[in-house]
Copies of this chain bind each other. A is one copy, B any other.
Amino acid sequence: MRIERGTLADLATGAAFLGSGGGGDPYYGRLMAEAGLARHGAVELLPLDALDDDALVVPLGWIGAPTVSVEKLPGGQETVAGLRKLEALLGRRVEAVLPIEIGGGNGLAPLAAAARLGLPLVDADGMGRAFPESQMAIFNIRGVAACPAVMTDAGGTTVTIEHSDNLAHERIARAVSVAMGGIAHMAEYPLSGREAKAHAIGGSVSAAIAVGAAIRAARQAGGDPFAALYAALRASRLYPFAGELFDGKIIDVERETRGGFSLGRVQLEGFGGEGTMVLEFQNENLVARRDGDTVAMVPDLITVMDRETAESITTERLKYGQRVKVVGAAAPAMLREARAMAFVGPDAFGLGEPYRPIEMLNGWTAT
């Protein structure tokens, strides 16, 4: 499969949903990808198992507070500069790239550089959704080193982090992204093809495209985009359960930026005053409680969508009065393993309750 310019809108729609409220606005990622593909042609989407064991494969993405990226458009040279620096450091060529997270703008982040450098995009990512911190990547959960990592900014500055453990790497990278003006590009967790096949979350790029295509087709046919979304998620096998958690309007949003993160809480009310839902977020939506009962929590996906258009609404764009559906989906199985819970489960975000799968909380059955 090749990713053409015509594929980008679907990929952006799917990545926005998989962002679970975070990962940055896909709009700018799409603009950059469109410019890259227009100039350099389509990008090959490589199945994960087609990678050579010895290939050098590099996850890419932007790091920073998502609210910044709305105002400060990256320059586009950052990705190429970061890959070139990593190649110089490792003494070999990069053979394929993938998004560090499929959710949000980062789902499209590697495309412009892949087009320009003629590199394939691996059909996989490091999070299966979006998460706020680098050490929440499956590669860290599985013990892969984040370093050497290369950060670049629109001004041409390059910061290389080496010989750091993954937690110190996240702390340093976060501080550098703030010093770089709030957003920076990062190439991290350089992988062998063997490591990528063992640890990357395979099929997530094509799942995002399928999700976007399903929503688009339902809109065009005058059908129900939500039914199409749930069917596409289940069909992907990566997100085997999906459904509606709530239908209503937003009656309150609290939000603050702290330590480079966007933190907050959203309240919704059912139409006719029936029922309530409360969402808590840290860049991404972390937990959904309906009438006081938890109905979804990390690492499962929680996305707020416009109830008419099925457009995903990132946490920084949530507003009083929006009429929305809250949609949930089961996280990829690799994120639900016991070893993943310390990094991406409710305890990792201080939620104070044990993880329970979304399908159990909602009585959803496999199709």
Contact = CB atoms under 8 A, between A and B. Distances in A.
A176 interface: yes
A178 interface: yes
Given A160-B162, A163-B156, A175 B179 contact: yes
A169 B159 CA distance: 10
| Interface core residue of A159, A160, A171, A178 (most chain B CB under 10 Å) | A159
A164 interface: yes
Interface in A153-176: 155-165, 168-169, 171-172, 174-176
B155 A165 contact: yes
Contacts of A157: 161-165, 168-169, 172
Contacts of A158: 160-164
Say whether chain A's binding surface is mostly helix, strand, loop, or mixed. mixed
A184 B162 CA distance: 14
A17 B111 CA distance: 57
A180 interface: yes
A183 to B, nearest CB: 14
A180 B176 contact: no
A157 B163 CA distance: 5
Contacts of A165: 155, 157
Contacts of A172: 157, 159, 176, 179-180
Contacts of A176: 159, 172, 175-176, 179
A-B interface, 7 closest residue pairs, ranked by CB to CB distance from nearest: A175-B179, A157-B164, A175-B175, A160-B160, A158-B162, A172-B179, A171-B179
Interface of A: 85, 155-165, 168-169, 171-172, 174-176, 178-180
Given A157-B164, A176-B179, 13 more contacts: A85-B162, A155-B165, A157-B163, A157-B168, A158-B161, A158-B163, A159-B161, A159-B162, A168-B179, A168-B180, A172-B176, A175-B178, A175-B179
12 contacts: A85-B162, A156-B164, A157-B162, A157-B165, A157-B168, A158-B161, A158-B162, A159-B159, A159-B160, A159-B161, A159-B172, A172-B179
